[in-house]
A and B are shown apart, each in its own frame.
Chain A
Amino acid sequence: MTAETVVVSLVTLVALVALSTVIGLLWRARQGQVTQSGDETVVKVRDVPGVARFAPGATLVQFSTQVCAPCRATHTVLETAASEYANVTHVDVDLTQRPDIAKRFRVMQTPTTLILDSKGRVRARIGGAARPGSVRAEIDRILAT
């Protein structure tokens, strides 16, 4: 074992920890990021299992899987937010039962949340664990228009 080997090893270890930390910080900064859209993407009621009709205010459509721990926390955040408004409902779709939905809505991470207005238009999309504050802000924005 030469001195050079030891130095290279130490540098590699530090680089590995630094790389992991940077990845983690970038990931955490993007968690719960809201992408607003005034866009024309319209979700039909029959595309969302467990929904008979969209709520008159807003519908929070959450995509989860059985193995996703943060999905449980987001479920509580969205359930709580929905219960604070009379005209907002929350539906949690298990993608394990419906892989076709994952493709159709281009779900690349779980949880992913779509916030629909009363007509089923996608007004916002939240990637990753939803933050209570930003969920309420989006609901208020939709209800105000």
Chain B
Amino acid sequence: MSSAKPSTKPSLAAKPGQRGIDPRGPRFGAGITAALLLIVVALSLLTPVGATAISRASEPGFIVFAIITILFGWGAIAGIQRHPYGAVFRALVSPRLRPPTELEDPIPPTFSQGVGFVITLAGVTLHLLGVPFGLLITASAAFIAAFLNSVFGYCLGCQIYLLLLRAGILGRTAAPTT
């Protein structure tokens, strides 16, 4: 409710018992991811798709894409605080920036990692199955999401979460209990 004073900013920090994270960290990571995904798109446009699953799995674009997928999975399962890009941000970027004016709850960016993992895992599967343009389309979609997150702060995970909630897949479906 409206008890907070204008000078304090407690609500942006993480829940008690959890440390908040610098919100610029996940956006830095999304920037790296977007750059890598653009490389994947370029490589998959330039390289002909292999005839067998083994040749498709050894294409350079696919290898980069598979690494991105693993990193998304890591971020989703271990949490955004333990993501390797976060470590790079803290070691190399953060010391050169002013301290963050506010800290962010790690739950939203961790959920976004899960969304990224689902999209890229679909791409990995489609490509190994030999579905034409499977890699190109999923890598392009993931690029748009990562680019929007990094450059504009757009949160695709938030939107998908709300849609799943409305569809009754997530959240409490029972009537209010309070």
Chain B residues contacting A80 (CB-CB under 8 Å) are 4, 6
Selected interface stretch from B65-73, B91-99, B154-162: B154-162
Q: Which of B143, B148, B162 has a CB less than 8 Å from the CB of A95?
A: B162
Interface centre among A80, A90, A91, A109 (most CB of B within 10 A): A80
Q: Which of B4, B6, B45, B176 has a CB less than 8 Å from the CB of A8?
A: B45
Q: Does B60 contact A (CB under 8 A)?
A: no
B168 touches A99 (CB 8 A): yes
Give bound CA distance, A109 to B168, whole Å: 16
Q: Does B23 contact A (CB under 8 A)?
A: yes
Q: Does B111 contact A (CB under 8 A)?
A: yes
Name A99-133 residues within 8 Å CB distance of B. 99-100, 102-103, 107-110
A89 touches B162 (CB 8 A): no
A83 touches B155 (CB 8 A): no
Q: Does B38 contact A (CB under 8 A)?
A: yes
Contact residues on A (Cβ < 8 Å of other chain), bracket: 35 or more
Asked, given contacts A13-B42, A49-B176, A67-B111, whether A72 binds B143 with beta carbons under 8 Å apart, the answer is no
Interface centre among A16, A25, A84, A90 (most CB of B within 10 A): A16
User: Interface residues, chain A, CB within 8 Å of chain B?
Assistant: 1, 5-6, 8-9, 12-13, 16-17, 19-21, 23-25, 27-28, 49-50, 65-73, 75-76, 79-80, 82-84, 88-91, 95-100, 102-103, 107-110
Q: Which residue of A lies closest to B43 (CB)?
A: A9
Q: Does B108 contact A (CB under 8 A)?
A: yes
Give bound CA distance, A42 to B165, whole Å: 24
Q: Which residue of B lies closest to A5 (CB)?
A: B46
Q: Does B52 contact A (CB under 8 A)?
A: no
Give bound CA distance, A91 to B4, whole Å: 12
B161 touches A49 (CB 8 A): no
A99 touches B143 (CB 8 A): no
Chain A residues contacting B1 (CB-CB under 8 Å) are 50, 89-91
Q: How far is the CB of B160 from chain A (nearest CB, A)?
A: 9
Name B121-178 residues within 8 Å CB distance of A. 140, 143-144, 147-148, 151-155, 157-159, 161-162, 165-166, 168, 170-173, 175-176, 178
Q: Which of A1, A49, A100 has a CB less than 8 Å from the CB of B46?
A: A1
Chain B residues contacting A27 (CB-CB under 8 Å) are 148, 152, 154
A-B contact pairs, 29 of them (CB 8 A): A12-B45, A13-B41, A20-B148, A27-B148, A50-B1, A66-B107, A66-B108, A67-B107, A67-B161, A68-B161, A69-B109, A72-B12, A72-B105, A73-B12, A73-B102, A79-B2, A79-B4, A80-B4, A83-B3, A88-B2, A89-B1, A95-B171, A96-B172, A99-B165, A99-B168, A100-B175, A100-B176, A102-B166, A107-B162
Chain B residues contacting A102 (CB-CB under 8 Å) are 162, 165-166
Asked, given contacts A9-B45, A99-B168, whether A69 binds B2 with beta carbons under 8 Å apart, the answer is no
